[in-house]
């Protein structure tokens, strides 16, 4: 799945043959986000171990879920020391920032959707490469994209934003997975770029328009209000 730069390759197949530097960047960005969720948690005072755990879960959790579901053992990210090294560096950066994440907020806003899209298409590609049907591949890709964030929320003892009425992160990941699966049989390079691009563009639109999902349950009518028939 992961490789170094291929000589003479104009465009990398981001999903089926992810360049190592890009995979490390993706893990690093997610790890920083996870660490910041621990440092900036208003309800708990997490120590260095807690922040490190959040960085680890956010950075590698999606890949762990993907590899577990497709039976890819040992985990891809544990076959090289670089991923855990990046997690340690991300944790050190977050701790160094203290409670002032503003200095990295712009960078996170730019790279976070790229990480979401890349995890989505790499998870889908890995599942398809293992001979799984498209619907299963989309499921695995979506779990890979949002799984790390859900694990962090569970550890923090709160429901994940992915599961609440909020920005449609899971739907964006599914869109990236579906687009990759649709185009992969024709051109994997185009599929991987398009899958990441649709997530990045769509998340930008969501941020700009403040679009959010709706609650599944409607609020009951106010006391004394007439009931609809």
Position 19 pLDDT exceeds 70: yes
- Rama region for 225: left / alpha / beta (φ>0; ψ in -120 to 50; rest): beta
The whole-number pLDDT of residue 113 equals: 87
Kindly provide the b/e burial profile for residues 14-39, where b requires at least 16 CB atoms within 10 angstroms of the residue's own CB: bbbbbbeebbbbbbbbbbbbbbbbbb
Single pTM value for the model: 0.81
Cis peptide before 74 (omega within 30 of 0): yes
Percent of the chain at pLDDT > 90 equals: 39
Helix (H) or strand (E) holding 2: strand 2-3
The whole-number pLDDT of residue 9 equals: 47
45-67 pLDDT, tens digit each: 888 899 899 999 999 999 999 99
Q: How far, in Å, CA of 175 to CA of 202, rounded?
A: 9
Report the mean per-residue pLDDT for the chain: 83
- Rama region for 18: left / alpha / beta (φ>0; ψ in -120 to 50; rest): beta
Decide if 117 contacts 198 (C-beta within 8 A).
yes
Position 102 pLDDT exceeds 90: no
The whole-number pLDDT of residue 34 equals: 87
What are the residue ranges of helices labelled H in the chain? 20-39, 48-70, 82-97, 102-129, 134-156, 169-184, 188-209
Q: Coil, strand or helix: which one is 99?
A: coil
Position 157 pLDDT exceeds 60: yes
Q: How far, in Å, CA of 168 to CA of 160, rounded?
A: 12
Cα torsion 32, 35, 36, 41 to 10°: value is 160
């Amino acid at each position: 799945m992961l490789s170094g730069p291929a000589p003479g390759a104009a465009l990398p197949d981001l999903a089926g043959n992810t360049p190592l530097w890009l995979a490390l960047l993706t893990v690093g960005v997610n790890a920083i986000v996870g660490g910041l969720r621990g440092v900036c948690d208003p309800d708990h005072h997490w120590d260095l171990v807690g922040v490190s755990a959040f960085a680890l879960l956010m950075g590698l959790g999606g890949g762990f879920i993907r590899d577990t579901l497709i039976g890819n053992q040992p985990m891809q990210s544990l076959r090289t020391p670089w991923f855990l090294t990046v997690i340690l560096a991300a944790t050190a950066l977050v701790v160094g920032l203290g409670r002032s994440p503003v200095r990295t907020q712009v960078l996170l806003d730019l790279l976070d959707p790229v990480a979401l899209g890349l995890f989505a298409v790499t998870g889908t590609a890995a599942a398809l490469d293992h001979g799984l049907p498209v619907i299963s591949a989309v499921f695995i890709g979506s779990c890979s994209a949002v799984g790390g964030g859900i694990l962090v929320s569970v550890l923090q003892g709160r429901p994940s934003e992915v599961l609440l009425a909020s920005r449609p992160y899971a739907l964006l990941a599914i869109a990236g997975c579906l687009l990759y699966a649709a185009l992969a049989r024709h051109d994997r390079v185009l599929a991987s770029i398009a899958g990441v691009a649709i997530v990045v563009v769509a998340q930008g639109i969501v941020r700009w328009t403040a679009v959010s999902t709706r609650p599944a349950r409607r609020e009951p009518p106010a006391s004394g209000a007439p009931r609809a028939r």
